[in-house]
Amino acid sequence: MAQTERTGPLVGIIMGSRSDLETMQEAAAVLDELGIPYEMKVVSAHRTPDAMFAYAESAAARGLKVIIAGAGGAAHLPGMTASKTLLPVIGVPVKSSTLNGIDSLLSIVQMPGGVPVATMAIGKAGARNAGLLAAQILALEDPGLRAILEEYRAYMRQQVEESQP
Ligand code: RP5
């Protein structure tokens, strides 16, 4: 199987606000650990809707393979982005200050049939898993990346074994 080209960004990480960055950096950290090139950008569904559509419409042609979209509150960014691209979109509900991210989770997860968003857990664990899921999607066509992910799983198993009481 052909090795995935890893020179340009393969994953687009977008978020609704600069205030989401602390959470979304977890996704970036995973991609850094795995050596996967990505780009990060603030694109708001409500404040910059035209930029959101332009981003989603141009993503595949620019070489992106997966989009990770994080947002909080009335979190329309992942779903609206998914509506304008056939790339897989992974949604990260950012923990909001008023409703602890339950609002973000429900906004992102309740997509109507026809436009899927792979919705992660609320907050940093969800962002980390978004990075890993993006990597697993890329690994379908990249045996080298698959081997790195297998090493990561083995490392986690070892950590559990070593932490036994
Ligand atoms: C959403 O509104 C953003 O994704 C963010 O989580 C939330 C609050 O944004 P700020 O008011 O902090 O810019 O669109």
The CB of 79 under 6 Å from ligand 1? The reply is no
Listed by start position, the domains of the chain span: 11-163
pLDDT tens column, 60-115 = 999 999 999 999 999 999 999 999 999 999 999 999 999 999 999 999 999 999 99
For residue 14, the surrounding DSSP H or E stretch is strand 11-15
Cβ count near 150 (within 10 Å): 11
pLDDT band of 7, cuts 50, 70, 90: confident
Fold of the domain spanning 11-163: Rossmann fold (3.40.50)
3-state secondary structure of 95: coil
Pocket mutation for ligand 1, best pick of 13, 15, 20 (most atoms within 8 Å of C-beta) = 20
- For residue 13, list its beta bridge partners: 40, 68
pTM: 0.95
Would the ipTM clear 0.90, i.e. be above it? yes
